[in-house]
Amino acid sequence: MPQSLVRLYVHIVFSTKNRHPFLTDQTLRQELHAYLAGAGKNLGSPSLIVGGVEDHVHILCYLGKIQPISELVKELKRTSSKWAKSKGLPAFYWQRGYGAFSVSPSHLHALKIYIAAQEEHHKKESFQDEFRRLLRKYGLEWDER
């Protein structure tokens, strides 16, 4: 086969530094989500949806065939932090770690709905509990620090 064909869906989740609620302004949050979608596209990993609340973000995207997930997340965080600072959030930073989870094509629709409904979802479950649930679902061990 003379070509390389890849279609990997990944759900990426990361939080603001110390889960600080930097993104309380709805307009700024939506602009940041749009920025992240554009940055992902420029990095060869187009987003299907980006969402979140004031202290974290969810990105459902295709994982490009060239760039490793660690480099993708690093660049998304780096460029979006710079963008947020230019928009009047001089103390804005993302937390160091992240979660990245594979997604079956049959679960894409449900995950898009879930990401779109983050505000409603987080009236019932904290980010920490949500993230722990994802880690348990994927059989991952973690350090609470």
Domain boundaries, the chain: 8-137
Which architecture does CATH list for 8-137?
A: 2-Layer Sandwich (3.30)
CB 85 within 8 A of CB 78: no
The total number of residues written for the chain in this structure: 145
Backbone angles phi, psi at 63, to 5 degrees: -90, 120
Q: What angle do CA 4, 42, 79 make, to 5 degrees?
A: 130
Cβ-in-10-Å burial (0-12, 13-18, 19+) of 140 comes to exposed
pLDDT in tens, the chain (145 residues): 688 888 999 999 999 999 999 999 999 999 999 999 999 999 999 999 999 999 999 999 999 888 899 999 999 999 999 999 999 999 999 999 999 999 999 999 999 999 999 999 999 998 889 989 998 998 988 887 6
pLDDT digits 0-9 by tens, 33-50 = 999 999 999 999 999 999
Q: What is the DSSP string of 38-88?
A: HHHHHTT--EEEEEEETTEEEEEEEEPSSS-HHHHHHHHHHHHHHHHHHTT
The single-letter DSSP state of residue 103 is E
